[in-house]
């Protein structure tokens, strides 16, 4: 069956730290040797000379080492997190390192915050949404009613308060003739999708069946 879900969201102002103190993220070029976790140097003379001015407490890969990376994909083996104890700001240190040879980029370890949360009064009960990072996706997009989302499931409660206003409508059938396949898609009166289990045009759950939404 097919439906549209469009959440209503609002923005909130946030005033939090922009990045993690005393840490930067460094990506090195593919010709550099892999740095083992918990190192203190990079093995690249020019970079290590620059880092000598600081108290480096840890250089570790951001992601575990991957063998046989597809050369057409970005090299994730040479992205490192550098920790230090000096008072220099991460953006200053990363600017200094960015200009060095073999450095693809150096940047503070930015902290990403959600700026948008749904107005659903039960949002706080839906612990899975922050777990999958949905709140960060909403910073980029909050949905579009022009996008039709197809969902394959046991059934759907067409009258559910969270869904009813956004359920897909096949207007050719809605305005068509009962008993006729008005849009010639092979399904008669499929106004809100199709129930392939029962082979009928009512995707609502069968009365008496276990159905949780």
Distance CA 102, CA 69 (A): 19
Q: Which residue is nearest to Ca ion (CB)?
A: 195
Phi-psi region at 202: left, alpha or beta (left = phi > 0; alpha = psi -120 to 50): beta
Distance CA 201, CA 183 (A): 14
**Closer CB to Ca ion, 26 or 189, in the complex:** 189
Nearest-CA neighbor of 188 among 205, 204, 170?
170
**Closer CB to Ca ion, 32 or 195, in the complex:** 195
Smallest gap from Cβ 183 to Ca ion, in A, equals 5
180 in contact with Ca ion (CB under 5 A): yes
Distance CA 138, CA 133 (A): 9
Residues from 61 through 120 that contact Ca ion (CB under 5 A) = none
Smallest gap from Cβ 161 to Ca ion, in A, equals 21
42 in contact with Ca ion (CB under 5 A): no
Among 80, 84, 138, 187, binds Ca ion (CB under 5 A): 187
Residue 212 corresponds to which tokens in the numbers above? 């949780």
Binding region for Ca ion (CB under 5 A): 173, 176, 180-183, 185, 187, 189-190, 195, 198, 200, 202
């Amino acid at each position: 069956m097919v439906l549209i879900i469009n959440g209503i969201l609002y923005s909130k102002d946030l005033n939090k730290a922009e990045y993690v103190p005393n840490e930067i993220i460094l990506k090195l070029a593919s010709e550099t040797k892999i740095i083992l976790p918990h190192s203190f140097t990079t093995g690249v003379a020019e970079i290590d000379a620059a880092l000598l001015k600081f108290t480096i407490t840890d250089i570790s890969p951001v992601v575990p080492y991957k063998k046989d990376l597809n050369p057409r994909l970005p090299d994730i083996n040479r992205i490192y997190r550098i920790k230090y104890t000096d008072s220099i700001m991460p953006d200053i240190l990363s600017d200094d390192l960015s200009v060095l040879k073999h450095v693809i980029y150096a940047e503070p370890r930015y902290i990403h915050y959600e700026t948008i949360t749904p107005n659903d009064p039960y949002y706080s009960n839906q612990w899975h949404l922050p777990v999958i990072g949905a709140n960060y996706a909403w910073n980029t997009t909050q949905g579009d009613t022009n996008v039709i989302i197809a969902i394959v499931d046991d059934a759907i409660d067409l009258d559910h308060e969270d869904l009813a206003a956004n359920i897909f409508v096949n207007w050719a059938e809605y305005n068509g003739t009962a008993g006729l396949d008005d849009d010639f898609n092979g399904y008669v009166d499929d106004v809100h999708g199709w129930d392939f289990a029962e082979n009928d045009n009512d995707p609502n759950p069968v009365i008496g069946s276990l159905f949780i939404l």
